Amino acid sequence: MQISPQTISPEITAKLNVILQAGKYVTEDDWNWRQIKRECEKLRDIHPSSGWSMLSLAHGLTGNIAVAQHAFEAAIALEKNPLYITNWLATLGNLGLYLKIHELFAVYGNPISGEFSDRFEIGLHAGAFHKLTEFIGSAEKMRLDMTTLDTSLPKNIAALLRKAGVTDHDVARQLEAAGTVLNRHKLFYTGAPEISVCDIPDAFIGVTFAFTLPVDGKDIFSYNIQLAKEEMAMNIQKNHAFDVVFVQR
């Protein structure tokens, strides 16, 4: 997902998004990245919480999750800015860390956080269908305006997966396997996944979560083979009602 601009540092955010849209991890010796890092450090001297948050995003682009998390926690300790949390969730998604996203979305995606609309898409793209449906119900009781949100999609998917016995944790594990493959190849996934629903009564019910990648067909075939092996290594018991695939953009 794109990094949301911070009021104090929109120029740095724009530079980070340029790297992000390239779709590949950047190395810490990359000249442009080092320049951005220096700008983040200067910002930290002036506005510590914002600077730490931007450093978290910058290190996320290198795939260094430990350093990125340290910087995020430093930012939140200074200022519990909702935007810092939203961008951290986006960073986790770009790095394919879906189990962690589900854990945090259960807390920060709740309508009582006041950020439900801004984080709705994060929950949807992370496959938190059951939790999102629960939150939609809470938002309806709170009479929140959801006219701009496609609430029917997660609700329909949650209903289908519930019948098949597929939980959000099951979904997150399969997505995490896909994220592991992408990480292996130093690839970000920043677009919206293609989520397809097939519901033929008494015949077939299934949800497919497709990551579209700008690579050739040979690579797509290889990535899907690696995904199947990763699922086996993680001892994922696949259910016919949910599948994750890589497809060519």
Euclidean distance between CA atoms 204 and 239, whole angstroms: 12
Q: Parse the chain into domains and list their residue ranges.
A: 1-95, 167-248
What pLDDT sits at residue 3?
Answer: 59
Average pLDDT, the chain: 93
What pLDDT sits at residue 1?
Answer: 58
Dihedral sign for Cα 66, 67, 72, 78, please: positive
- How confident is residue 199, by pLDDT bands cut at 50, 70 and 90? confident
- How confident is residue 189, by pLDDT bands cut at 50, 70 and 90? confident
pLDDT, tens only, 205-235: 899 999 998 889 999 999 999 999 999 999 9
Q: Mean pLDDT, to the nearest integer, of 233-238?
A: 95
- How confident is residue 4, by pLDDT bands cut at 50, 70 and 90? low
* Helix axes 98-108 and 168-184, enclosed angle (nearest 10): 130
Q: Mean pLDDT, to the nearest integer, of 60-73?
A: 96
The percentage of residues in the chain with a pLDDT greater than 70, rounded to a whole number, is 96
Instruction: Say which CATH architecture domain 167-248 belongs to.
Output: 2-Layer Sandwich (3.30)
Question: 7 pLDDT exceeds 60?
Answer: no
What pLDDT sits at residue 26?
Answer: 95
Question: 93 pLDDT exceeds 60?
Answer: yes
What pLDDT sits at residue 22?
Answer: 87
